[in-house]
């Protein structure tokens, strides 16, 4: 990767909140493998990030840890952890923590500067009804977020919240909508809100072959893209995502492969990002992997990878009790 663009990429990721523009992290390897199309089909603790309304789909106490691996860039570290707990008569509650850390050497004396951004969230998702007309298992979700930023010269904090909606339709279709960074600020600067919406379709054939398809759209203001005609920041931005997964389900095992793509629609750079991944699940344990690349590597972080470990703690307890 060109050194100039590499430096810019590090600064953007590590210091994004200074300009009140959090980076879209595409949390989780499965979401990464889908190319970022996940708001309607998320079914794991990362729902706290993607769509808190979908937390209701998690029946047991569950834990998730996700790590980024940067193949072409040193000095960056991104980690995400989430714990979900179903609470009777309340809903599914989640506590999550997202850490972004950047280290950059500057100048002839190689002065090292560091910056870290933390996002701590408390989320809840609750199903409103089992079935109403064509709407099945309709749910709402809410997250309250605490942002903190620390660097060699700047410290600050902020607060905001997210709202989520999820519903299923007959024949395996689902709809998810998430409003992020609502009423959010960082060090007195407003963080632009964003709206993510998606459709999902899941079919199980012969109780063995599961196919999942997802498409998402992301709408937000005043960042990430340049207007193709005026070469100025676009005021209305839209990004599209799509992904496909095949899973072989047999007994206690589930083995999956997936792929996806996403594209910023108003971006002057004619690039798109592509991804692929795989995962294996056995009883209460799940290990997921994905990578993503970019057709214009000079304007990106190059190949990046995700590795997730998910543990269904409630299921482990149930298995132990049976034994």
pTM: 0.86
Handedness of CA 267, 268, 272, 273 (dihedral sign): negative
d(CA 29, CA 296): 22
Per-residue pLDDT of 263-308, as tens digits, reads: 877 665 667 889 999 999 999 999 999 998 877 666 566 688 999 9
d(CA 5, CA 218): 25
Mean pLDDT of the chain: 84
Q: Kindly tell me if the per-residue pLDDT of 7 is higher than 50.
A: no
Q: State the average pLDDT over residues 138-143.
A: 97
Per-residue pLDDT of 29-57, as tens digits, reads: 999 999 999 999 999 999 999 999 999 99
Q: Which of 120, 45, 119 is nearest to 82 (CA)?
A: 45
Per-residue pLDDT of 238-255, as tens digits, reads: 889 999 999 999 989 999
In the chain the domains, ranked by start, together with CATH numbers, are 3-322 (2.40.160.60)
Q: State the average pLDDT over residues 108-124.
A: 79
Q: Kindly tell me if the per-residue pLDDT of 175 is higher than 60.
A: yes
CA atoms within 13 A on the CB side of 244: 0
- 238, β-bridge pairs: 219
Give the H or E element holding residue 97. strand 91-106
Q: What is residue 54's predicted lDDT score, i.e. its pLDDT? A: 97
Q: What are the structure tokens assigned to 111, written together?
A: 């002065």
Q: Are 125 and 92 in contact (CB under 8 A)?
A: yes
Per-residue pLDDT of 189-202, as tens digits, reads: 778 888 999 999 99
Task: Concatenate the DSSP letters of all residues of 141-159 into one string.
Answer: EEEEEEEEEEESS-EEEEE
Distance of CA 227 to the CA centre of its chain: 26
Q: What is residue 236's predicted lDDT score, i.e. its pLDDT? A: 61
Phi, psi of 35 (to 5 degrees): 75, 10
Q: Kindly tell me if the per-residue pLDDT of 157 is higher than 50.
A: yes
Q: Kindly tell me if the per-residue pLDDT of 214 is higher than 80.
A: yes
Per-residue pLDDT of 60-100, as tens digits, reads: 999 999 998 887 777 778 899 999 999 999 999 999 999 98
pLDDT band at 237 (very low <50, low <70, confident <90, very high): confident
Q: What are the structure tokens assigned to 109, written together?
A: 């004396």
Percent residues over pLDDT 90 in the chain = 56
């Amino acid at each position: 990767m060109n050194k100039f663009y590499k430096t810019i990429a590090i600064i953007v990721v590590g210091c994004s909140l200074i300009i009140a523009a959090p980076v879209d992290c595409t949390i989780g390897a499965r979401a990464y493998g889908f190319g970022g199309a996940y708001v309607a089909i998320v079914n794991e603790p990362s729902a706290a990030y993607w769509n808190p309304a979908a937390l209701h789909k998690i029946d047991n106490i569950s834990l998730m840890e996700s790590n980024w691996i940067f193949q072409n860039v040193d000095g960056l570290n991104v980690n995400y952890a989430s714990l979900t707990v179903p609470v009777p008569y309340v809903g599914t509650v989640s506590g999550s923590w997202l850490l972004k850390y950047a280290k950059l050497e500057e100048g002839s004396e190689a002065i090292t500067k560091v910056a870290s951004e933390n996002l701590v969230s408390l989320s809840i998702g609750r199903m409103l009804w089992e079935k109403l007309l064509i709407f099945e298992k309709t749910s709402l979700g809410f997250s309250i977020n605490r942002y903190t930023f620390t660097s060699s010269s700047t410290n600050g904090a902020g607060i905001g919240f997210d709202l989520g909606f999820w519903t299923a339709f007959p024949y395996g279709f689902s709809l998810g909508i998430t409003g992020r960074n609502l009423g959010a600020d960082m060090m007195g600067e407003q963080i632009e809100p964003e709206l993510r919406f998606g459709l999902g379709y899941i079919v199980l054939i012969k109780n063995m072959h599961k196919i999942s398809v997802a498409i998402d759209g992301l709408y937000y203001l005043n960042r990430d893209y340049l207007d193709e005609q005026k070469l100025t920041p676009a005021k209305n931005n839209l990004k599209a995502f799509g992904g496909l997964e095949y899973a072989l389900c047999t007994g206690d095992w589930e083995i999956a492969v997936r792929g996806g793509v996403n594209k910023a629609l108003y971006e002057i750079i004619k690039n798109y990002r592509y991804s692929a991944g795989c995962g294996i699940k056995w009883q209460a344990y799940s290990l997921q992997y994905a990578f993503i690349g970019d057709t214009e590597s000079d304007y990106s972080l190059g190949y990046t990878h995700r590795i997730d470990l998910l543990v269904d703690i409630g299921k482990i307890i149930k298995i132990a009790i049976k034994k």
